Each structure stands twice: as structure tokens, then as C-alpha cells.
Amino acid sequence: MAEQGFGAVGQAVASAQNILADFVPWENEPRPLAGGVSGGFTFPSADDIEELLGLWRARAESIAKRGSIVEQLIGNLGVARPAPDDASNGFQKTFADCLAKLQEQHDSMLAYIQEYIAKLETAKTEKQTGEQNAAEAASKAGGDSGQ
């Protein structure tokens, strides 16, 4: 039975390594910058927003992938207990509670990112419309001055 306990620990370590294997801190990723005044910010162009959207979509995909690993860990909780004693049962319950909290935080983070992506998409559409309107106005102004 003790060997099963160590095997379970080894599996937990391997699972944790799988969860964090593709983690890249934000500070290591290039990203477009937006200028701002008075607590707000603006993007220079719709292309800059699209570049940022790509980074957030990749981050959301990575987080979703980790979520499936957490779900797998939760599903495997009852498969092998280290030992049939109160201490082992207590540790397993604590681990289950921790995983449930991790799942809750994961879901909350993913929902937040998805909402932010939707806001960025709206900002991109508005920026594209503004750029198109400015181009049309410039074209009309250029056309009118030539007549």
C-alpha cells in the first residue's frame, strides 16, 4: 500500500508538470501597446487590436487546456487512496477541496478573459469603422478639391 502512495505522489507531480509545462509569463511575451490618457487607452490601429486579440486568444486556449487537466485530476481522485486510514482520508479530502477551488478560480479566469476578448473585438470593430469613415472623408475631401 505504501508504494501506491508514492506512486500517487509521483502521478500528482507529473500532472502538475503537465499543467504548468507551457506556462509563459506575460512579461516574456511581446504585445502591442496602447496609449492612454485619464485612465483610458486607445489603440493606434485595428491591426494593433488584432495582434493583442491573438495573444489573448492563445492565452485563453492555454488556460482552457489546463482546465481539462484539472478536471481529469478531479475525476481521478477516488481511483487510488494512499492508505485506508483517517490521515490519508483527510489528506485526500483536503486535496479534493483544493482542486475544487482551483477549478472555480480557473473557470472564473477563463470567463474574465473571454469577456475581455469580446470587448477587444468590439473595440476593433469600432476602430475599423472609424478608420473607414476617416478614409472615406479624406477621399471625398480630396475628390471635392479637385473639381
Residue type, 127: K
Strand pairing partners for 35?
A: 42
Count how many residues are written for the chain.
147
Neighbour tally for 89: CB within 10 Å? 13
Query: Domain tally for the chain?
Result: 1
How far is 111 from 121, CA to CA, in rounded Å?
15
In tens, the pLDDT along 4-59 reads 445 556 666 666 666 656 655 555 555 555 555 566 667 778 888 899 899 999 99
Pick from 98, 111, 28, 18: nearest CA to 64: 111
**Domain containing 31: what range?**
2-145
pTM of the model: 0.63
Report residue 13 as a C-alpha cell: 507531480
In tens, the pLDDT along 58-67 reads 999 988 988 8
Pick from 89, 72, 90: nearest CA to 81: 89
Report residue 3 as a C-alpha cell: 508504494
